Amino acid sequence: MCGIIGYTNNVSNNQSVIENMLQKISHRGPDDQGYYQDSKITLGMRRLSIIDLDSGNQPLFNEDKSLILVFNGEIYNYQVLRAKLISLGHTFTTNSDSEVIIHGYEEYGNDIVNHLRGMFAFAIYNIHTKALFIARDIFGIKPLFYTIVKNELVFASEIKALFEYPGVEKKFNEQCLSSYLAFQYNPLTETFYRGIFQLLPAHYLEFTDNLKLTHYFKFNYNLDDNLKETDALNMLESTLKDSISHHRLADVEMGSFLSGGIDSSYLAANSQVKKTFSVGFEDHRCNELPLARELSQYLDIENYQKVITKDEFWHTIPTILNILDEPVADPSIIPLYHLTKLASQHVKVVLSGEGADELFGGYNIYQTPLTLAPTKIIPFFLRKGLKNILIKTNYEFKGKQYLIRAGQKIEERFIGNAFIFQNHELKKLIKPQWPIYPPQVLTNAYYRDVARKDDITKMQYIDLNFWLRGDILRKADHISMANSLEVRVPYLDKEVWAISSILPTNLRVNKKATKYIFRKMAAKSLPLQNSERKKLGFPVPLNEWIKEEQYYQPIKELFNSKSAQKYFNCDYLNYLLDEHYQGIHNNARKIWTVYIFLTWYNRNFD
Query: Is the same domain home to 109 and 182?
Result: yes
Query: Is the same domain home to 40 and 183?
Result: yes
Residues near 214 by Cβ (< 8 Å), separated by ≥ 6?
110, 203, 204, 205, 206
Which of 182, 215, 248 delimits the end of a domain?
215
Q: Within a domain: residue 574? A: yes
| C-alpha–C-alpha distance, residues 570 and 556, integer Å | 10
Rg, the chain, Cα only: 24
Q: Within a domain: residue 411? A: no
Burial class (CB in 10 A: 0-12, 13-18, 19+), 257: buried
Query: Is the same domain home to 181 and 317?
Result: no
Query: Is the same domain home to 545 and 527?
Result: no
Q: In the prediction, which pLDDT does 48 show?
A: 67
Q: Give the tens place of pLDDT for each residue, 124-144.
A: 999 999 999 999 999 999 999
Q: Give the tens place of pLDDT for each residue, 350-409.
A: 999 999 999 999 999 999 999 999 999 999 889 888 888 988 887 778 888 889 888 889
Query: Is the same domain home to 523 and 546?
Result: no
Which of 532, 556, 585 delimits the end of a domain?
532
Which of 193, 215, 237 delimits the end of a domain?
215
The single-letter code of the amino acid at 135 is A
SS3 145: strand
328 is in an annotated binding site: no
Query: Is the same domain home to 187 and 321?
Result: no
407 is in an annotated binding site: no
pTM of structure: 0.94
Within 13 Å, how many C-alpha atoms sit on residue 403's CB side? 14
Give the domain range for residue 278: 229-362+471-532
Q: What CATH number is associated with residue 34?
A: 3.60.20.10
97 is in an annotated binding site: yes
Q: In the prediction, which pLDDT does 331 show?
A: 95
Q: Give the tens place of pLDDT for each residue, 1-56.
A: 589 999 998 788 889 999 999 999 999 987 778 889 898 999 999 976 665 555 55
Across the chain, which has 606 residues, the per-10-residue mean pLDDT values are: 87 90 91 86 83 67 93 94 94 89 96 97 96 98 96 96 95 97 97 98 95 97 95 96 93 89 93 94 79 90 94 95 96 95 95 96 95 91 89 82 89 94 94 95 96 97 97 96 95 97 97 95 81 63 93 96 97 96 94 98 92
Q: Within a domain: residue 585? A: yes
496 is in an annotated binding site: no
Query: Is the same domain home to 340 and 261?
Result: yes
Query: Is the same domain home to 526 and 545?
Result: no
Q: Within a domain: residue 394? A: no
Burial class (CB in 10 A: 0-12, 13-18, 19+), 281: buried
CA distances (Å), origin 7, targets 130, 167, 195: 12, 12, 15
Contact 154, 440 (CB under 8 A): no
Based on the structure, what is the number of domains in the chain? 3
Of the residues 2, 176, 286, 570, only one is catalytic, namely 2
Query: Is the same domain home to 122 and 66?
Result: yes
Query: Is the same domain home to 64 and 193?
Result: yes
Q: What CATH number is associated with residue 269?
A: 3.40.50.620
Q: Within a domain: residue 495? A: yes
Query: Is the same domain home to 476 and 556?
Result: no
Q: In the prediction, which pLDDT does 396 show?
A: 79
Sheet holding 254-257, edge to edge: 302-308, 275-281, 254-257, 349-351, 486-488
Query: Is the same domain home to 172 and 56?
Result: yes
Q: Within a domain: residue 405? A: no
Q: Within a domain: residue 487? A: yes
Q: In the prediction, which pLDDT does 534 show?
A: 62
Q: Give the tens place of pLDDT for each residue, 44-88.
A: 999 766 655 555 577 999 989 999 999 999 999 999 999 999 999
| C-alpha–C-alpha distance, residues 204 and 562, integer Å | 41
Let me know if 286 is a catalytic residue: no
* 317-324 helix and 588-604 helix, angle to the nearest 10 degrees: 70
Peptide bond into 290 cis (omega under 30): no
Q: In the prediction, which pLDDT does 533 show?
A: 59
Q: Within a domain: residue 407? A: no
